[in-house]
Structure 1
Amino acid sequence: MHRRGFLAAGLATVLVSQRAIAQMKMDDMPGMDMGGHAGHDMGEAPQSTVVLPEGKVLRDLPRLANEAGTPGLFKAKLTAQRASVRFAEGLDTPILGYNGTSPGPLTFANRIPEETSTIHWHGMPVPADQDGNPMDPVATGADRTYSFDLPEGSAGSYWYHPHPHGKTAEQVYRGLAGAFVVKPKIDPIPAEYGDTVLVFTDLRLAADGTMPDNTMTDLMNGRVGDHVLVNGQKNPRLTVPFGTKRRFRLYNATNARFLRLSFDQASMMIIGTDGGLLEAPVAAKEILLSPAERLELIVSFDKPGPDTLYTLDYDRGWMGPGRPVDAGLTLFTVNVSRTPAEPVPPLPDRLRPIAPLGAPAVSRRLVFTETIAMNASGMEMGFLINGAAFDMNRVDIVAKAGQVELWEIVNKADMDHPFHVHGTQFQVVEHERDGKVSKPAYLSSKDTVNVARGETVRLLLRQDRPGPRMYHCHILEHEQLGMMGVVDVQA
């Protein structure tokens, strides 16, 4: 793997279902009386009583050692295997981890018993045959070498996770995910600001410390855990002098939790999104990260005392009982001391140029819907794009490499769906909801965008490398229940 970059070991919690359609028996539906069946529990996960320790010092994610001795080349080995960690005192939790940990640290070794896996390099402009898509599985016990060059201008905050057909959700929530930061040759952000990765995951533990399987509620809404972790810790702490400016890279590596975030007192400047820096910093009082999205922030801690990063309410739509509490969760505490920070250079007014993609040669329309249908054996539910569930053997779109396209993503479903396209970064150009059209607050490079229920998002994209690419909802249970398609990019 060529270019300036490093692999920060990841963490994970996410995903499961092996069919494109979820089957619910009549007697699994709460409060329904059909044919004499009494309503039973739908499978809502009980709230965990496991207590996790809080307030430990924020840990940096460990970095993979570079085994290559050649400048500009990165070489390492990632092994997906069973492991055990201790999230709570006295309880050992079986997980899946890269190199035995999660967070864990490019040769990929699949040591997951009886399951295929892959590594998908989320957001990175890699060749299609190195993208780790579901059509390219790595069998259990097998090794696979991923090799690619990253082009100039691709510095950004990326991540990696499995993408095997039917098992992506489960493998991620059990621990397989990691952060991948690509640095530019010349970084306009002052080095004195640091560069701190914050990966958000959520965790559900049974009383014995194990991770319960997904319920039907999880399949419908996506798995939302009981504990939100930062770098694998619950509400870790960081101590800084007052007047500190700190660079944070925020990753939403949950499978279905939407994170609307704010600090108590500190001011935030957005400087980057999924695919790298903005043209100029943008002030923000709060931010929204849907699953798989990333943001780069400069946070200024100008008042002594504790300052917390906490969640605000966000209604992304929910089917059935058990909607989780979204507001008032303290995720991260920064203790700002009374010692003043050393003077640092100001944040530049301009960060980098971003060239608009220009006029599209082709327009496409993708419509998200949910379906619930009755049959002889029960109730079938699916998540569809243009009325169809994912079929690995079907090509849904044929595109031409190097050609700009306008994609119109229409959400007619009852909940938000974060939309992800493999192999490229796109530019969001317009939102429309309730007849009102708005432009994004800034031009940026994105690979994932939230499409709220009832909303239409229009984006420009260009695939520069030929081969099959996936596009899908990044609530990974929804992906597995059919909300995914294949675009074949032709030279």
Structure 2
Amino acid sequence: MHRRTFLMAGLATLAAGSQASAQMKMDDMNAMPGMDHSAHGMPGKPPASLMLKQGEALRDLPRLANESAEAGLFRARLTPAPATARFVDGVETPVLAYNGMTPGPLIEAFEGDRIEIDFTNDIPGEDSTIHWHGMPVPAEQDGNPMDPVVAGASRRYAFDLPAGSAASYWFHPHPHGKTAEQVYRGLAGIFLVKPKADPVPSAYGDTVLVFTDLRLAADGSIPENSMMDLMNGRVGDHVLVNGQKTPALDVPLGAKRRFRLFNATNARFLKLSFGAATMTVIGTDGGLLEAPVAVGDVLLAPAERLELVVSFDRPGEVKLETLAYERGWMGPGKPDDSGLTLLTVNVASEAGEPMPPLPEKLRTIAALGNATVNRRFVFTEKMGMGANGMEMGFFINDVAFDMKRVDVTARVGEVELWEVINKADMDHPFHVHGTQFQVIEHERDGKVSPPAYRAWKDTVNVARGETVRLLLKQDLPGQRMYHCHILEHEQLGMMGIVDVTV
């Protein structure tokens, strides 16, 4: 039987059996929820009785206050705990939040700063961590699943921000077997590392746009993952921006705005356009590009970040909208992600202050050089009947994640070429902890193409049938993760450990 047919046949068998279960390919997780065909169990079908508040002014994410008076030291506290949010008037939704905020808070620090975050896990009965996504932190500070903070316990995360680390990072939990749930329940925050001197004109502002998605049951609660969520990754019914549905932003005519885009969803791919407004990419996961690049649209895979400068040269409404993108889907309930309005920018008829030009050169990104080690990582998924019923898993090099197994051993400072090959039925965004890498080429259907620009990245989308080649080196020793950043797939086994030695 053809492999794609096998997957679909397996899904049909599962849907037909009321007692069918699935076994996750992880060392300590067992049965998955069954198929749910209710309105809130399928993406794109929100309960009709729940109408989210829309059109409010775009809010800034609250800043995490620095409790230190010492220059160059940022010290604060972060506590994940149950909280409530009001997405719908008169309805309280139970969530998880850092310091009562979801999404958020936003941490802002500078290159060269010392960071000390006192973390207390107040999630009842669950381990948690903080993973500083993309940040150059020591392995023991990285919030890996091998280093959990049990419920009720505390620890301090402490690290220094080296020169050249200015970028748009974010943080989220990474506990073994609970990452997906803790993120979709609300745990995600932003970490901006600023340079001492920024080449982007300050007149453009610095606006953070964090994309999350939300699914609500009829009673306003957040339902658990269904079988479809586990297969495809959880896609909610509503895309939120800074926790709001279709917020609005007012700008004067002729304004140029700097936007930092963060895809903090579990599994949603966002192909985005500002319509007729001119978009220029100035940065990616690991900070600024060497030079600005004009674009018509951008693709933001789960966990990716982009910095844009958008020029608003015509009065009236400008909408940040989603465009169609085929990321692959197994089974029924495929969401239609095209034509969603995420943000409305109201451009005034009166001009504001003249805007300075964007510099032609932003910084220099040195090439990593020739690799001394080549590695291959092949993504596959499997589903079939086993001793415990329907079994499924997502794999790298034909093995599922085992927290007690080291998959790769690398050396500090050694440049490696990684070939990431996607033989699965959908796109998979690939993330490496502890470093930023440079994509050098894409290959699909026999066609090899270079990236549009040189950039530092920690997450790259690997499309179905595609091979992505990237160069990386780890500068700090210790165990690091590499995994698909569709969080449900990570939990179903698509993750490995690289042990970096001196």
TM-score (normalised: structure 1):
0.92
* Aligned-pair CA distance for 1:381: 0.5
Partners of 2:386 and 2:67 lie apart in 1 by 56
Partner of residue 140, structure 2 = 129
Output one character per residue of 1:399-431: Cα deviation in whole Å (capped at 9) or x when no partner: 000000000000000000000000000000000
Partner of residue 4, structure 1 = none
Q: How does 1:85-234 map to 2 (within 5 A)?
A: 85-105=85-105, 106-234=117-245
Partner of residue 67, structure 1 = 67
Distance 1:26 1:414, change over 3 A: closer
Partners of 2:10 and 2:308 lie apart in 1 by 46
Contact 2:34 2:226 in 1 (8 A): no
Partners of 1:393 and 1:216 lie apart in 2 by 27
Partners of 2:145 and 2:58 lie apart in 1 by 35
Contact 1:25 1:377 in 2 (8 A): no
Contact 1:115 1:139 in 2 (8 A): yes
Partners of 2:19 and 2:74 lie apart in 1 by 60
Q: How does 1:43-62 map to 2 (within 5 A)?
A: 43-44=36-37, 45-46=41-42, 47-49=45-47, 50-62=50-62
Partner of residue 83, structure 1 = 83
Q: Which runs of 5+ in 2 are unaligned?
A: 1-8, 21-32, 106-116
Give the CA RMSD over aligned residues.
1.7
Matched, 1:278 2:278: no
Could you tell which deviates more after superposition, 43-52 or 231-240?
43-52
Question: What residue identity is the alignment partner of 2:76?
Answer: A
Contact 2:240 2:246 in 1 (8 A): yes
Give aligned-pair identity as a percent: 69
Output one character per residue of 1:105-159: Cα deviation in whole Å (capped at 9) or x when no partner: 2011100000000000000000000000000000100111000001100000000
Contact 1:249 1:294 in 2 (8 A): yes
Contact 1:26 1:378 in 2 (8 A): no
Partners of 1:34 and 1:65 lie apart in 2 by 50
Q: Secondary structure at the match of 1:29?
A: helix
Matched, 1:30 2:28: no
Of the candidates 231, 243, 250, which is equivalent to residue 239 of structure 1? Answer: 250
Distance 1:116 1:306, change over 3 A: same
Contact 2:34 2:227 in 1 (8 A): no
Partners of 2:264 and 2:18 lie apart in 1 by 39
Q: How does 1:253-402 map to 2 (within 5 A)?
A: 253-402=264-413
Q: Which runs of 5+ in 1 are unaligned?
A: 1-23
Partners of 2:488 and 2:275 lie apart in 1 by 33
Partners of 1:266 and 1:366 lie apart in 2 by 39
* Aligned-pair CA distance for 1:33: 12
Contact 1:260 1:314 in 2 (8 A): yes
Partners of 1:25 and 1:403 lie apart in 2 by 43
* Aligned-pair CA distance for 1:372: 1.1
Partner of residue 492, structure 2 = 481
* Aligned-pair CA distance for 1:26: 8.6
Distance 1:271 1:26, change over 3 A: closer
Distance 1:41 1:214, change over 3 A: closer
Q: Secondary structure at the match of 2:158?
A: coil
Could you tell which deviates more after superposition, 153-162 or 335-344?
335-344
Question: What residue identity is the alignment partner of 1:216?
Answer: M
Of the candidates 412, 435, 444, which is equivalent to residue 446 of structure 2? Answer: 435
* Aligned-pair CA distance for 1:69: 1.0
Output one character per residue of 1:180-218: Cα deviation in whole Å (capped at 9) or x when no partner: 100001000000000000000000001111000000000
Distance 1:232 1:376, change over 3 A: same
Contact 1:28 1:41 in 2 (8 A): no
Partners of 2:295 and 2:400 lie apart in 1 by 38
Q: Secondary structure at the match of 2:231?
A: helix
Partners of 2:229 and 2:295 lie apart in 1 by 32
Number of equivalences? 464
Output one character per residue of 1:46-73: Cα deviation in whole Å (capped at 9) or x when no partner: 4222211111000000000001111111
Question: What residue identity is the alignment partner of 1:121?
Answer: W
Output one character per residue of 1:212-260: Cα deviation in whole Å (capped at 9) or x when no partner: 0000000000000000000000000001011000000000000100000
Partner of residue 42, structure 1 = 35
* Aligned-pair CA distance for 1:32: 7.6
